[in-house]
Amino acid sequence: MKNSPYRLILASASPRRVDLLRQIGIVPDQICPADIDEMAKAGELPHQLAERLALEKAAAVPASPDHLILAADTVVAVGRRILPKTDQESDALACLTLLSGRSHRVYGGIALRLPGGKILSRLVTTHVKFKRLSPAEIQACLASNEWRGKAGGFAVQGLAGAFVQSINGSYSNIVGLSLCDTMNLLQGVGFGHHH
């Protein structure tokens, strides 16, 4: 992936996003987590929140001339209801109970800030259907601690992989970053052409 005029900064502390990028041969030159307020505004729809937070994260990192700044945000929603990034087991329990037997959407906002300050963005939507979960399955998921800090209280690449009946859209978007859309954005500005 060398031979690019740009250095890439990832504005995210998420180890999942780092792993996803590594999967397609991209290793950021630097990781600078953006520290922004992630609360939804009154009346803000889930997809608007994902897009706004990605843009704000991209704008929050101090830039230098030859740097591309990649930022992303993932929002899980049932209808208009935004599910929290779960910090407490009670939140994770509430999320999993709500998601059981239901379809939900995962919105991924991706933003790429160019050296001149211009920001390109994409919004990716994935539809996910969970099977009906037994109390034992929910308990196992809670006991695994995989839910900590995850939007919607689950990690699709963990135990919750067994709950997914169907996915319509990007799988990597559910993990935390749509690789196809990210690569399209990066290639569009001349980053990382293969030879």
Give the domains, in start order, of the chain with CATH numbers. 7-188 (3.90.950.10)
pLDDT in tens, 70-90: 999 999 999 999 999 999 999
Global pTM?
Answer: 0.93
* Distance between first and last Cα of the chain: 9
Q: Would you state the pLDDT for residue 13?
A: 87
CB 146 within 8 A of CB 155: yes
- Mean pLDDT for 26-50 is 95
Give the H or E element holding residue 156.
Answer: none
Which residues participate in catalysis according to the annotation? 73
Spell out the alpha helix ranges (H) of the chain: 15-23, 46-60, 89-99, 135-143, 171-175, 179-188
CB 89 within 8 A of CB 43: no
Q: Would you state the pLDDT for residue 1?
A: 46
